[in-house]
Structure 1
Amino acid sequence: MRTQRNVLVTLVLIGLIACLGIGTLATVALIALRTANTPTIPTTESATQETARGLPTLPPPSRLPTTETTVPATVSLPPDIAAQMDEIEQQVIRIRGLQPRFSLRRELLTTSQLHQKVIDDFLKDYTPAEVEKDVTTLSLFGLLPRNFDLYTLLRDLYTEQIAGFYDDETKTMYVIQDEAFRGPQRSTYAHEYTHALQDQTFDFRGGLKMTDETCEQQSEYCAAVQSLIEGDASLTEQFWLLNAASPEDRQQIQEFYQNYQSPVFDTSPEFLQQDFLFPYRQGLDFVLALYQKGRWSAINAAFEKPPVSTEQILHPEKYPNDAPLEVNVPDLSPVLTGYELYDEGEIGEWYFYLILAYGEKQAWRLSESIAAQAAAGWGGDVYQVWRKPQNGETLLLVNIRWDSENDAKEFYDAFQQYGVQRWGQPLSSTANASRWQESTAGQSILIREKSRTLWILGSDAKAVTNALEALQTLIPQP
């Protein structure tokens, strides 16, 4: 069980309540690409009628904020902007078919105040020890350099081109007061107001359990639910753009996108770029698949029975029946003398794809198609990082269950290629086991047994051997 936050969890929690410029641009950029494949979009009137026929049972009142505990809307906005926001809210209500339970509070902040709020709300509890842990784990995965300054990147990234956001804890929409309210801001407001409707209907924290505690233990679940939340808001935003936005809105958005610059995002590690966009791109694909089956009622039903893994987001046909398999490892503390369990969690199909396709060094990477095929068929996993406090030596253990023996073999074959590109030619290699030796990483071992694979990476060869011998009941030693 996870007891500490890692970067996978950090990104989930930050992304849940802060749809900043990145998410908005992801949606805008996809408009032209996806319109041809989008189902016939109803008018706002017909969409409302269709949704009203298929809404699921609403959550119990105990899961929803009450009017007595909420802050009445107090808008100190210029009257014309307030009127535009009111109009956009009504348009989104008609498009999405969810009814608000109370008025949304809006708060004006300067750009610098909003930047500081993002840092205070989302990064204030991200301690140096947690940052070091995340960098250690991600470097073992081959995604980051060992001394990467992750905190500064997250701080800068989440204050780059910020456009405002909905805060599900205070039930407040934070709006920048020193920018014009034009097409990009209006589109963003439609997206963010969708989150307010989602929260008031399905309750992010109480109903969907999107809390620190849940996400520290179930990062795959939170990544999947975040993708549902953002995919739904992105689809609603597209409906708004196509049905309610003015020609001026669309022109202004196009001009904004053509001139947009995001130097922090563009120079960040490529796996992080892909991961930040996952809830918007793959989340939108997932929600579109639901919409094609049952329109808004199918999406509402997914909030009542949320997806539980990135595998389900990547393969909508696997939702809701293909749940992750349970994976465990025995206690290794008796054989790992001097080591302490430093980090533990699950990787999931999406991060296996990132490891293979978007490693730290370009030379390590497999093609996207090979990486995607290798990661598909994921059934469940657990990883552990063990560390010696006195000298920082580490050992990574990853135990994976696949849907079939063939899926395990596909991953094993692809990982062999990845291993050669990362560590060089193996010391030994068979159809079921490969071992590499690298001067800084130490030994890396990959074993396949039927529908399971085991990966051990450690700087101490003796510790690697001891761990392997202790796990021989789980996966026989080669």
Structure 2
Amino acid sequence: ADPDADRLGWEGGYWYNESVAVDESDGLNDSELAAVVNRTMARVELIRGLEFEERVPVEVVLRSEFQRSQSGGTTPASVRRFDNAKFEALFMINESTESIGVQRTNSGVSVGGYYSPSQDRIVVVSDTETPTVDASTLAHELVHGLQDQQFDLSKVTSETRRGNNAVDGLVEGDANLVQYAFDRRCGAEWDCLGDGSGTTGASG
């Protein structure tokens, strides 16, 4: 039964251990996606011990569309030079390779989803024409949405690259820990979409 007031482990009409009526074989329609998101939010807040203040919008896009979005944009010359020097020093690229271009290409292939603090939404990348969602990836990105609601990620910044790396470590470490706990419960205690292994997330 639904609680009288919002509580940890319940979101949008779904308890964390409640079944959802979805058919993954033909992709997720809007109502099925909403049910999956609500239940995953309930599970994330139960693990993290923090309450969502509002629903996090989730959009599913095809990988081809995501890859096109990654190919645009410009990077200042100073940033390109710095990145090229850094990755050349690490023997990860040669002198004729643009590191930013390589990162964008890799991102287009490997990223399973991302949370955008500026847009307050999650984008999940689907590899099939019938949109699907990996539960583990969704859980990871929902943690970022929860972090933003509770701590305002736009204020968690640094003026130095080293400081930003430290911030990223805290933000991603928190999300990875929750994702790990989520994955361990999938199959053992909970039924989850996808294989539970997850794919790479990216900051938006």
Q: Deviations over 1:185-218 (max 9, x none)?
A: 1111011100000111111112x12xxxx4xx41
Q: Which protein, 1 or 2, shows the higher relative CO under an 8 Å CA cutoff with sep ≥ 6? A: 2
Cα separation, 1, equivalents of 2:193 and 2:52: 27
- Matched with 2:179 is 237
- Matched with 2:187 is 246
Shift of 1:111: 1.9
Gaps of 5+ in 1: 1-47, 50-75, 258-478
Alignment of 1:312-331 (within 5 A): none
Query: Paired residue for 1:226, among 159, 168, 177?
Result: 168
Contact 2:47/2:182, CA 8 A, preserved across alignment: yes
State the one-letter code of the partner of 2:195.
Q
Cα separation, 2, equivalents of 1:129 and 1:85: 40
Matched, 1:151 2:92: no
Shift of 1:131: 1.8
- Matched with 2:15 is none
Alignment TM-score, normalising by the size of structure 2 = 0.69
State the one-letter code of the partner of 1:220.
R
Secondary structure in 2 aligned to 1:238? helix
Contact 1:163/1:176, CA 8 A, preserved across alignment: yes
Contact 2:135/2:194, CA 8 A, preserved across alignment: no
Q: Deviations over 1:64-107 (max 9, x none)?
A: xxxxxxxxxxxx94322321121011111111111222221222
Alignment of 1:104-253 (within 5 A): 104-120=56-72, 124-128=73-77, 130-136=79-85, 138-139=87-88, 141=89, 143=91, 144-176=93-125, 178=129, 181=132, 185-206=134-155, 208-209=156-157, 214=158, 217-243=159-185, 245-246=186-187, 249=192, 252-253=195-196
Cα separation, 2, equivalents of 1:142 and 1:164: 27
Gaps of 5+ in 2: 1-7, 10-27, 200-204
Contact 1:135/1:147, CA 8 A, preserved across alignment: no
Cα separation, 2, equivalents of 1:88 and 1:127: 38
Alignment of 1:426-441 (within 5 A): none
The change in CA–CA distance for 1:108 and 1:134 in structure 2 (over 3 A counts) is closer
Shift of 1:128: 4.7
Cα separation, 2, equivalents of 1:87 and 1:99: 13
Which has a greater percent of helix? 1
The change in CA–CA distance for 1:218 and 1:98 in structure 2 (over 3 A counts) is same
The change in CA–CA distance for 1:223 and 1:155 in structure 2 (over 3 A counts) is same
State the one-letter code of the partner of 2:143.
T
Shift of 1:147: 2.6
Shift of 1:109: 2.3
Contact 1:106/1:173, CA 8 A, preserved across alignment: yes
The change in CA–CA distance for 1:138 and 1:253 in structure 2 (over 3 A counts) is closer
State the one-letter code of the partner of 1:152.
G
Cα separation, 2, equivalents of 1:166 and 1:107: 10
The change in CA–CA distance for 1:225 and 1:175 in structure 2 (over 3 A counts) is same
Cα separation, 2, equivalents of 1:89 and 1:225: 23
Cα separation, 2, equivalents of 1:142 and 1:225: 22
Cα separation, 1, equivalents of 2:195 and 2:150: 32
Taking only aligned residues, the RMSD between alpha carbons, in angstroms, comes to 3.2
Structure of larger gyration radius: 1
Alignment TM-score, normalising by the size of structure 1 = 0.32
- Matched with 1:90 is 42
Runs of 4+ in 1 over 4 A off after TM superposition: 247-251
Cα separation, 2, equivalents of 1:146 and 1:189: 37
Cα separation, 2, equivalents of 1:189 and 1:142: 32
Cα separation, 2, equivalents of 1:115 and 1:133: 24
Cα separation, 2, equivalents of 1:138 and 1:108: 32
Cα separation, 1, equivalents of 2:66 and 2:101: 17
Q: How many residues align?
A: 171
Alignment of 1:36-51 (within 5 A): none
